[in-house]
Each structure stands twice: as C-alpha cells, then as structure tokens.
C-alpha cells in the first residue's frame, strides 16, 4: 500500500484509490475503494503477503475468488476482479451499503415477524443457488449477511468457501465462527451444504427467541454443547410464534444432517408456508396410488411409442419418471424415445448424382452478421424444412406438447447466462459466462458471430451479461453486465459502438422503447436510466436519471412506449411515465424479488415472474392479477407467449418447458429434454411455430411444429 497522497488525499493500491478501512475478515483487510478506470466504488479485500507464505494458503485464497466469481445471484455479493499488486493479492467486489443482519434482527420489534422471516428466506435462496453451483460457504453468520438500503439481503465473504469437488479443506481445521458451526464440522466429519443449513437454523432460532440455541462461557464448552447436548425446544406459545415456524428451526438444527431439510430451497418453502405466504404443499400420494399411477403412465408411454407418437410418449414417460424416479424401466424407455427423436432431427440423404427432385426446395439465403458464418466443430446438421403457419390456440389445446417435435441440439461452451431473439431474423444472441455474446442462426444452426469487448479480446474474459435486448428493427443489441456497464452493439458490422454507458452497480434489466429511440436500463443502484440511442450512436452517453426506491431487477415498456413498468428486489411493481419521470402507480402481488416482465402480444397484459416461483399475469387496464401460474419447480428464468398470448411457456433451470393456459392458469403441456439438461432461456421463432431453448451448458435445443 502506498503512502497517503499529499494533502490527505486517498492512498493508492495499484489502480484503486483507498478511501477508508471497513474492517478485517477471515482472509485480511477490507477497504472502501474507488476504481478510476470503470469509475465505480468497490469493496477491496487484501491479504498481507505474510499470510500467503504457504502453498495451502495461496491455494485457499485463489479458491475463494474462483468459487465466489461463479456466483451471480441477487442475494450474493458480486465479485468483479482478482489480482495482485506488489506481492499483495486482492479481490475487488461489489460494495454493499447497509447494515449487518445482526443489527437488523437485534431488536425483535425492529421489523415485523413476516419481514424478518423473509430475510431468512432470501438467505436460503442465495445459499441454495451457491450449493447448486457446487459451493459451500462454511462461515454463514449474521456478520456475513447484510441488508441493503432497499431491503435486499446480500451474503458476503465466501472467504472460506469450499468447492464441492475440492479436497483441500482438511477435516478438523475450524475456519468458521463456533456459534454457527455444525456438529459434523466441529467433529471433523465430511461437510456439505447442510452445514450452511445448520448455520441458517442458528440465525433463525436467534431471530425467533432472541438468543442462540447453544451458549457457553468458553469455546471448548460451546463446542461440547453443540456436538453432544440436546437442543432446547422453542416454546411457540410463550414466544407467540406459529408452531410450524418453530418446527422449521428445530428441523434445520437436527444434529444428524440426514434429518434436516434436503436443501435450503426446501427450507425456504417451509418458512413461507409457516408464515402463510404460500399454501401448504399437497398431501403426499398414498404409495398404492403412486404405484398404480406409475404403472398406468408407463403402459401409456409404451403404447404411444409403439404408435410412433414420440412426443406424447415422452410426456407420459416423464410423468411416470416423476412418480418414481428410481425405476430403471422408465429410464430405458426415455432413452429410446430421446434417441428416436434425435434421429428424426437429421437431414434426409441428398439425391444421388444425376437424379432430379422437382419437389425439393432450397431455403432462401439468410442475412448474416459480421464475418461469414461458419459451423462450429462437431456442429449439428440443419433441421428439415419448417412447415409454415403459427400455432393457434385450438391446436395447442387439442394437442398440447405433441404439437411440437424435438429437433435436437447444437452449440458450444461456455455456460449460458442469458439469451435474446432478434425481432427481424431467426438470430439468437447468447451471453456466455466468459463475457462474450455468441450469435446463432437458428435456421442453419451456424454461429454467425461472436461479440467481444476490448477487454475480452485482450484477456479472453470480461464481466458476464445479465440482460440482452435487441432494438425493434434488429440493428442494435444492448447488453447489461454484472460490473454495471452497458454495451451497445452494431449488428451490421458485429462490433461495439464506442460509447460509455454504465451504472454504479450490477445492471440486470434493459429494454428498447417501441420506437427504438430510447434504451431503458435498471440497476441494483436503485436507478432507472433512459439513454438517448441516437446520441449513443454518435458516441455521447446522454441519459435521463429516474431514481427508484429500491434496486431495479426487471423492466418492460407498455402502452406503446408511454409507460415503463419496473420490477424490484422489494417485490413491488412501479408504473412510470418515462417522459416526465412521474410515478403513475405502485402494483403489488409478487411475494419475492421480481425477475422478469413480459408484455403480451396484444399489449394489454404483463406477465410477471418472481422468485416466489410463480408467474402472475396482470391486466394493465385494471392493474389486477388476471391469472397466477404456478407453483413452478424453481423461479422462472425465461418466459414466452404463444398463440397470440393464450399460452405462456416457462423454463426454470431444469429440463422442462412448461406450457400454461393463461385463461385458466392451469398447466397445459410440457416439453422435456434429456435428464440432466438445464434450460435457462426461451424464444419463439420462425413463423411463430418453433421454440428455441438456451441450455446452461451453452447449447441450444429446438422444437418445431409437428402439425
């Protein structure tokens, strides 16, 4: 660290300006700093060279950065950069302004019970996301959870995070805070995600009772109590708590990990049920009923397979699989059906030399973006000719999932973060985890171009995009990134427009106005920014700033460009007049962070997806909920209207595209991919009769009309 600047100015650490010390953590000192290159505040964690003298310590520090950098979630602090200056290693991360959870929950009357429980639900959701990415925190405690000014919960300091497949953290080394450590960790046993669940259980117990479940004057006696002594039950009557809420805390604090919740998503659901925020789950099926239902669906799958109705056979087989996932017979049938479907996606053999085929047609040439498009190595062959005509409501209601036929996959790594379809061509933009954006021609299955920033061209990596959006005429693509930067891309030349647009924190939402003149971007910095697209093309970042009461997590234009609807981490929707910056209405309904807003084809309704695992369809005229779709298996990651808005398709990070009947709010059909696939993006293309689904591994799966 260099000496303070003359006149008492900020100290310098590499490119960073150190403004003040925030505290010391498990790995070193944390500073409030400023990044002058990207003009943003950061929290800068440094570790003295003396602490990194051993190879194990260096590896542990590097593991922290790699583990945390993989986690991009509204309830987890964002990692910007890892580096080294004069022998001192550092991590630059999102600066979270707010208070520690311990301060927020210290006085039981500071927040109502429901609000406090929802804070714990957000902690569960953030940790569950990390666990599904293979990362265990291992040091969850109130000091590592902050409540931002807009009410968002942020988990900090994956400073001793342990990648699921790493064997470097040795048993017996106590790295965490004793009061929140699980019995298995203290005993040196194998640790998994349920150790974090124990810590959340301790926080919940403390929240409900005002004291920790185990207390002792010395560390040795505290460890003995945690490992050996039974937990004092919560007296729900004396504490005036719902009995189910006390039961959730007790279950999370079972000494045997196998008796806790299966994961933190299940614990979050139980908490919401306990406070009445969601209905209780359906009563489990009687084993005899489950067995009969499995056998009926198994027989149906075999019959449909024999009749060559492969799509319907796959639906029946998937129903049987959900009823009994362990049966090997249904897994074999699913593999057979999937192989048959993939076989149908290949091209017919071309005619022999000299032969004629008067009925064969040649597809017209497609417009290309940037350099000449080429097929990636091992790319899939082009699909058969597509039948014209959009799918209508009657077809979908009559045929359900069998109205589509699986056409297989194509694509390449890296992992996909976001996807968007051009409005004028069958061109899918896919944002990768490496920060680049790949453009795929869905007709030819060829990679048309790769959009890279200057930093990506130099280093092979840049901040990942959280949102993508095309201009109405398809000539521009905007990408919003985790580091707060917004890039504008000229599709005619496949290059970035030289303009600097940015927010102070991550940007998770953007959309062009219907006339293409304005680009709206929303950020966790609690601002909505309206950029002049014409000025941006001339290199001038001219914008209007509309302050918001909390972080913006979703946005969409409505009313032909007269309104902007924004979704927030605080669960509200705000209808804004973008021309005057005036709030027109506040709309409530979602029970958790709003992550997607999608306008219906007729412009009269808005689909609102939330982390409460539902999609609500609002009538924009009355601003009332017309239908609630759900519950989903996980929060939706992408939505798509079909059949003029009568149906809505959702994907939620599993291997299923769920079709919903908007009028009834009931599930209508499902399109299934092979087990193990993870769907993250969704788009309707062609003549509104084909679906493109972006997979988390970088591939794209296509479904075409089977009519």
d(CA 223, CA 229): 10
Asked if residues 11 and 1 have their Cβ atoms less than 8 Å apart, the reply is yes
Q: What letter would DSSP give residue 663?
A: T
Quickly tell me which residue has 């008067």 as its tokens.
Answer: 358
Cα(707)–Cα(698) distance, integer angstroms:
29
What are the strands, taking DSSP E only, across 28-148?
A: 29-35, 40-47, 79-85, 88-93, 98-100, 135-136, 145-148
The distance of Cα 126 from the centroid of its chain, to the nearest Å, equals 10
SS3 content of the chain, % helix, strand, coil (to 5): 25, 30, 40
Spatial separation of the C-alpha atoms in residues 210 and 200, rounded to whole Å: 15
Phi, psi of 191 (to 5 degrees): -115, 135
Cα gap 302→317, rounded to integer Å: 8
φ, ψ dihedrals at 278, nearest 5° = -135, 155
CB atoms within 10 A of CB 702: 24
CA 498/CA 541 separation, integer angstroms? 10
Q: Map 578-633 to HEC letters.
A: CCCCEEEEEECCCCCCEEEEEECCCCCEEEEEECCCEEEEEECCCCEEEEEECCCC
The answer, yes or no, to whether the previous bond of 655 is cis (omega within 30 of 0) is: no
Instruction: Please report how the helices 287-306 and 310-323 are oriented relative to each other, as an axis angle in degrees rounded to 10.
Output: 160
User: Tokens 């899939």 label which residue?
Assistant: 380
Contact indicator for 514, 423 with CB cutoff of 8 Å: no
Q: Residue 392, SS3?
A: coil
Please give the helix or strand (H or E) that residue 203 lies within, else none: helix 193-209
**Catalytic one among 35, 128, 139, 483?**
139
CA-CA distance, 163 to 62, in Å (whole number)?
11
**At 188, is the secondary structure helix, strand, or coil?**
coil
487 Cβ contact partners less than 8 Å away, ≥ 6 residues apart: 453, 478, 479, 481, 496, 497, 501
Closest CA to 203 of 263, 111, 123: 123
Contact predicate 245/275, CB 8 Å: yes
Burial of 23 (0-12, 13-18, 19+ CB in 10 A): exposed
Q: What are phi and psi of 297, to 5 degrees?
A: -70, -35
Annotation says 515 is catalytic: no
Q: Give bridge partners of residue 628 from the DSSP assignment.
A: 616
Residues with catalytic annotation?
A: 139
């Amino acid at each position: 660290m260099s000496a303070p600047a003359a006149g008492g100015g900020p100290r310098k650490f590499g490119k960073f300006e150190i403004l003040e010390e925030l505290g010391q953590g498990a790995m070193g000192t944390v500073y409030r700093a400023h990044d002058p290159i990207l003009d943003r505040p950061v929290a800068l964690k440094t570790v003295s060279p003396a602490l990194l003298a051993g190879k194990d310590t260096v590896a542990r520090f590097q593991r922290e950065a790699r583990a945390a950098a993989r986690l991009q979630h509204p309830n987890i602090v964002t990692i910007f950069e890892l580096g080294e200056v004069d022998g001192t290693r550092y991590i630059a991360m999102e600066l979270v302004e707010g208070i520690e959870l311990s301060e927020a929950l210290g006085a039981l009357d500071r927040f109502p019970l429901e609000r406090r429980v929802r804070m714990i639900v957000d902690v569960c959701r953030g940790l569950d996301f990390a666990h599904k990415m293979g990362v265990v925190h291992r040091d969850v405690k109130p000091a590592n959870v902050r409540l931002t000014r807009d009410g968002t919960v942020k988990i900090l300091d994956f400073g001793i995070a342990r990648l699921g497949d790493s064997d470097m953290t040795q048993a017996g080394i106590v790295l965490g805070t004793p009061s929140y450590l699980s019995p298995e960790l203290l005993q040196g046993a194998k640790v998994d995600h349920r150790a974090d669940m124990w810590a959340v259980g301790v926080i919940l117990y403390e929240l409900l009772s005002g004291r920790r479940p185990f207390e002792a004057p010395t560390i040795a006696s505290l460890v003995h109590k945690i490992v050996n002594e039974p937990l004092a039950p919560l007296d729900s009557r004396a504490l005036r708590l719902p009995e189910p809420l006390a039961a959730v805390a007790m279950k999370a604090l079972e000494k045997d990990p196998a008796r806790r919740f299966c994961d933190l998503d299940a614990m979050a659901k139980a908490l919401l049920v306990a406070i009445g925020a969601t209905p209780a789950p359906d009563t489990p099926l009687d084993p005899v009923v489950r067995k009969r239902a499995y056998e009926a669906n198994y027989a149906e799958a075999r019959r449909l397979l024999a009749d060559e109705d492969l799509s319907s056979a796959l639906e029946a087989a998937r129903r049987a699989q959900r009823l009994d996932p362990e049966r090997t017979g249904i897994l074999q049938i699913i593999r057979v059906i999937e192989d048959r479907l993939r076989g149908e996606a290949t091209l017919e053999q071309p005619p022999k030399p000299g032969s004629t085929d008067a009925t064969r047609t040649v597809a017209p040439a497609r417009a290309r973006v940037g350099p000449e498009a080429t097929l990636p190595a091992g790319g899939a062959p082009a699909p058969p000719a597509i039948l014209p005509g959009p799918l209508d409501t009657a077809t979908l209601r009559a045929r359900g999932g069998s109205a589509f036929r699986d056409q297989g996959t194509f694509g390449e790594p890296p992992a996909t973060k976001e996807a968007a379809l051009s409005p004028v061509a069958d061109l899918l933009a896919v944002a990768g985890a490496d920060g680049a954006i790949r453009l795929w021609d869905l007709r030819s299955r060829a990679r048309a171009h790769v959009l890279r920033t200057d930093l990506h061209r130099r280093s092979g990596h840049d901040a990942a995009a959280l949102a993508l959006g095309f201009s109405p005429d398809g000539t521009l693509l905007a990408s919003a990134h985790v580091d707060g930067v917004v890039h504008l891309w000229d599709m005619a030349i496949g290059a970035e427009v030289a303009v600097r647009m940015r927010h102070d924190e991550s940007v998770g939402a953007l959309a062009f106005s219907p006339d293409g003149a304005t680009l709206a971007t929303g950020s966790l910095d609690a601002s909505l920014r309206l950029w002049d697209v014409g000025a941006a093309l001339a290199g001038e970042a001219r914008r209007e700033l509309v302050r918001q009461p909390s972080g913006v997590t979703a946005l969409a234009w409505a009313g032909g460009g007269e309104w902007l609807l924004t979704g927030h981490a605080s669960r509200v929707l705000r209808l804004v007049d973008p021309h005057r910056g005036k709030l027109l209405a506040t709309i409530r309904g979602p029970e958790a962070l709003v992550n997607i807003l999608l306008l219906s084809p007729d412009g009269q309704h808005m689909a609102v997806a939330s982390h409460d695992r539902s999609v609500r369809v609002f009538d924009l005229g009355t601003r009332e909920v017309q239908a609630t779709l759900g519950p989903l298996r996980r929060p939706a990651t992408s939505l798509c209207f079909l059949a003029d808005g009568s149906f809505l398709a959702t994907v939620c990070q599993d291997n299923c595209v769920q079709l919903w009947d908007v009028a009834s709010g009931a599930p209508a059909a499902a399109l299934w991919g092979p087990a193990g696939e993870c769907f993250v993006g969704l788009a309707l293309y062609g003549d509104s009769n084909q679906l493109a689904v972006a997979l988390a591994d970088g591939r794209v799966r296509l479904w075409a009309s089977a009519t």
